[in-house]
Chain A
Amino acid sequence: AQTVTQSQPEMSVQEAETVTLSCTYDTSENNYYLFWYKQPPSRQMILVIRQEAYKQQNATENRFSVNFQKAAKSFSLKISDSQLGDTAMYFCAFVSRGQFYFGTGTSLTVIP
């Protein structure tokens, strides 16, 4: 069975600092995609970053980057220069064969 695990229910970071959110997944598939989504208090789901499993290079989007370790089935999100607007719930997601699986989320609070 495919599973996505986010072991950090809550995290906090000082404004302008760097924080890393952890995500592990379990699958026997070789072709899949990984995503991080952000859900601010408005509850809108916003795509932060995506990674294709066949790509060895880690994805980067401005202040957001991932550390993708395929063998370890790990997909962590690093947020650099944290901003108050980064306060949100962050969900790691995995998709394979059209099936989507989301983790239970990490609530991130950026402290002024």
Chain B
Amino acid sequence: DSGVTQTPKHLITATGQRVTLRCSPRSGDLSVYWYQQSLDQGLQFLIQYYNGEERAKGNILERFSAQQFPDLHSELNLSSLELGDSALYFCASSGGFLSYEQYFGPGTRLTVT
């Protein structure tokens, strides 16, 4: 158990809908990262937050947004969902801005039908 929690574990929704994925980092970790892993693919880095501020942006679509709240939990919002958004979405946390040793949550499996 990495100490990072993600909810829900599974999510099934229809095209055009909007969903919110939630992540709680390890106790004391200030950085949260979001990744997308499509079927049989590597991980695509989406975005990083550090202590509530956006710090780095990867291949995140404009239909996707994220935020980190004062209690350090983070949410990833996916809107106008398409079939191609079906994937495993991981959240990871690390201790500091330059501490890149990440601990991953169990992921949220999103299926868009």
Contact = CB atoms under 8 A, between A and B. Distances in A.
Nearest to B43: A102
B42 A47 contact: no
B19 interface: no
A101 B102 CA distance: 13
A91 B42 contact: yes
Interface string A68-107: 0000000000000000000000010101011111111100
Nearest to B33: A100
B45 A45 contact: no
B103 A100 contact: no
A103 B45 CA distance: 11
Given A98-B55, A99-B58, A104 B42 contact: yes
A95 B2 contact: no
Contacts of B104: 37, 44-46
B25 interface: no
Interface string B41-66: 11111001000000110100000000
22 contacts: A33-B100, A35-B100, A37-B104, A42-B106, A43-B106, A43-B107, A44-B106, A45-B43, A45-B92, A45-B107, A47-B103, A50-B100, A91-B43, A93-B43, A98-B56, A99-B58, A100-B43, A100-B45, A100-B58, A100-B100, A102-B43, A105-B42
